[in-house]
Amino acid sequence: MRRPRGSWAALLVAATLVANPAQAASEPELHVLIDVSGSMKNTDPENLREPALRLLGGLVPQESRVRVDLFGNRISEVLPTSLASPETKKAMRAAAAQIRSDEPFTDIPAALEAANRDWAESTERNIILLSDGKVDISPDDAVNERATTDLRDTVIPALIEADVQVHTVALSEAADESILTEIAERTGGLALSARSNEDLQRVFLALFEATAPRTGVPLVENRFRVDESISELTLVVFRESDAEPTRIQIPDGGEVDVETASALADWRWDDSAGRDLITISNPPSGSWRILAAEDPDNRALVITDLKLAMPGLPSRVFPGEAIEGGLVLTNRGEPIVERRLTNDLQAQVDVNDPKEKVIESLELNDIGAEPDVLGGDSRYDFRLRLDGDSGIYTLEGRASGPTFERVIRKKIALARNLPFAARVVRPHLAARGDHGDSGNPRGPAARLIIEQDVALLDPSASHLVGQIECETGQTIEIEARLSEATNRVELPDSDGNGCRVTGTVSGETDDGREVSLPLDQPIPAPAPRHQTPADEPAADDEPSENKTADREGNPLVAVLIGLGALTLLGLLAWIWRLVESPPVF
């Protein structure tokens, strides 16, 4: 490894670097399941699962652990769980060459059970499941239905118990996306789909950035800088089918393409499946350029002593959930806390929506100023909420000093809905003159109903802290445990119109992740109560049944009705006599 040059780099090597064990991130572990059932002959006729797996193998960081199984009606372990060393990555390329499409069934439950073994201690456990089918272990539909039920009731809970996130890829419209999505959502993973073979390469890039993100350098108009602390450079370049072959311009002005790279000992170039995967050992420092069309998924990743991490972030969050994260810059595995160095650092996090548009940019610091929590701890804290359209968002963290730039990306899926539903109701008033519960003259107190999705939230851990806020300025604090699937919280009396209940539902997902979710519901105004006799409304305002009842129960009304009837009969008799015996003039 070459020693960094320059005054800042010299300080970096000489400075005392203090490790904070509490900030140490668990290393990623990735078990990959590839469907090799016979239907893949139609779904993936060009067998692009093979270059997709090679892409993943070329990207995973050396400190991660990987395993690869092929499955159909049986499970074939083609790469046992191993540290992602250069030898393991070579074995992963060999494992990709064994992908085929020849087995009659698709035993997803057995594949997941096989992958849920042989985990290392204290790693971030992830499974990638790629399939074009559904639970299909027999020609008998009843057998398949029982296997699906067992998957839901036994296999998924076992994965949750083992702290495993499962990320699913549906490679066909014929795939059972509902069960694949359920597997991912219940375990906290991503549910992705690839509607074309070309999509699969980008999907695997997204999965890499969700499960085992790696330090890179910023790409600006396909240009980037390599500093002397970088020992390996990996480029991912996507291209259109009719595009010219990709070329790389190196710092001395020369150019390298796939043909010339084959004669260079330090270069390895894989140009299959509409993308280039290029790895360069000991790249010369200076300015580089990718001579190809720009693409938002192009990447320049590095192996270096000077790494940037964004640890502890989930792969899937709920709308409005409070996300607390941070950037950590390390040198040779130790967080950088030396003030002479951190004073020259700049850090930020950009949030990109599913269309790769920047929707938020946060300037970060390590001096204890907002949003940093504790100054001088080597962590550049940030807090944010995702509350737009559901889909895959990208958090892009950047850190730069006088002689280097680093970038790290993390993919996060925003769920469609919150894991609970809330509403505020008021019970109807009872009989006329009733003042409601507790003698409240405005009627019964409002009631907050919160229904939890117990497949996603552990109800025993849920808690509400909030307040009632009214337009009059009145504020009432509220707090309640939410220990049931359906919870009814009686709200204290408020001013009535223009009030809302707001706050936070804190809890724990079924996979053990703590969440903080927003609550904001209007409180309906009390319904008008029945008036006292002094305030009795006009008769026309009363219900018709009440008018009838009053007529039938009043003797005076009955007498008047009788007299009217007699008078009418007399009048009719008089008219009849006139008709029978008309007067003579």
What is the three-state SS of 264-295?
Answer: CCCEEEECCCCEEEEEEECCCCEEEEEECCCC
584 falls in which pLDDT band (50, 70, 90)? Answer: very low
Q: Which amino acid is at 30?
A: L
Q: Does residue 442 register a pLDDT over 90? A: no
pTM to 2 decimal places: 0.81
Question: pLDDT tens across 386-412, in order?
Answer: 998 999 999 999 999 888 999 999 999
| Torsion sign across C-alpha atoms 530, 532, 533, 537 | negative
The verdict on 406 and 491 lying in the same domain is: no
Helices (H) and strands (E) counted in the chain, each on its own, are: 13, 30
Query: In angstroms, rounded to a whole number, what is the distance separating the alpha carbons of residues 262 and 245?
Result: 14
**Max mean pLDDT range (38-42, 341-345, 350-354):** 350-354
Say if 6 falls within a structural domain. no
Q: Which amino acid is at 224?
A: F
Say if 13 falls within a structural domain. no
Question: pLDDT tens across 224-257, in order?
Answer: 999 999 999 999 999 988 899 999 999 999 999 9
Mean pLDDT over residues 514-527, rounded? 89
The verdict on 446 and 557 lying in the same domain is: no
> Quick one: pLDDT at residue 171?
87
Block residue for tokens 């790629």: 130
Say if 281 falls within a structural domain. yes
Query: In angstroms, rounded to a whole number, what is the distance separating the alpha carbons of residues 402 and 423?
Result: 54
What CATH number is attached to the domain comprising 506?
2.60.40
Say if 531 falls within a structural domain. no
Say if 342 falls within a structural domain. yes
**Parallel, antiparallel or unpaired: strands 27-35 and 65-71:** parallel
> Quick one: pLDDT at residue 445?
78
The verdict on 172 and 131 lying in the same domain is: yes
Mean pLDDT over residues 524-549, rounded? 48
| Last residue of one domain, picked from the residues 414, 435, 464 | 414
Q: Give me the residues paired with residue 504 across strands.
A: 465, 518
334 versus 260: the higher-pLDDT residue is 260
| Last residue of one domain, picked from the residues 238, 269, 304 | 304
Q: Does residue 531 register a pLDDT over 90? A: no
Share of the chain above pLDDT 90, in %: 67
What the block records as the tokens of 569 is 């009969």
Query: In angstroms, rounded to a whole number, what is the distance separating the alpha carbons of residues 19 and 321?
Result: 30
The verdict on 183 and 321 lying in the same domain is: no
Q: Does residue 101 register a pLDDT over 80? A: yes
What CATH number is attached to the domain comprising 366?
2.60.40.1930
Least confident of 50-59, 406-415, 508-517: 508-517
What the block records as the tokens of 374 is 């504790």
The verdict on 173 and 280 lying in the same domain is: no
The verdict on 271 and 256 lying in the same domain is: yes
Show the domain range for 577.
Answer: 542-585
Q: Does residue 514 register a pLDDT over 80? A: yes
Q: Give me the DSSP letters along 227-265.
A: -TTEEEEEEEEE--TTSPPPEEE-TTS-EE-HHHHTT-T
The verdict on 249 and 343 lying in the same domain is: no
Say if 18 falls within a structural domain. no
The verdict on 204 and 109 lying in the same domain is: yes
Assess contact for 85 and 62: CB atoms under 8 A: yes
Residue 533 host element (H or E): none
- 580 CB-side CA count, 13 A: 6
The verdict on 82 and 207 lying in the same domain is: yes
> Quick one: pLDDT at residue 10?
40
Name every residue whose Cβ is closer than 8 Å to that of residue 185 and which is 6 or more positions away in sequence: 191, 316, 415, 456
75 falls in which pLDDT band (50, 70, 90)? Answer: very high
Of 509, 456, 496, 504, give the one whose Cα is nearest residue 477.
504
**Max mean pLDDT range (274-283, 538-547, 570-579):** 274-283
What the block records as the tokens of 448 is 């907050």
The verdict on 64 and 203 lying in the same domain is: yes
> Quick one: pLDDT at residue 530?
54
What the block records as the tokens of 314 is 């989930």
What CATH number is attached to the domain comprising 268?
2.60.120
Say if 478 falls within a structural domain. yes
Say if 460 falls within a structural domain. yes
Q: Does residue 118 register a pLDDT over 60? A: yes
Least confident of 391-400, 447-456, 479-488, 489-498: 489-498
| Last residue of one domain, picked from the residues 289, 304, 319 | 304
The verdict on 172 and 260 lying in the same domain is: no
Residue 367 gets which letter from DSSP?
S
Assess contact for 373 and 356: CB atoms under 8 A: no
Average pLDDT, rounded, for the chain: 85
Mean pLDDT over residues 293-310, rounded? 95
The verdict on 168 and 144 lying in the same domain is: yes
- Number of independent structural domains in the chain: 5
Q: Does residue 62 register a pLDDT over 70? A: yes
What CATH number is attached to the domain comprising 69?
3.40.50.410
Q: Give me the DSSP letters along 335-349.
A: E---HHHHTT-EEEE
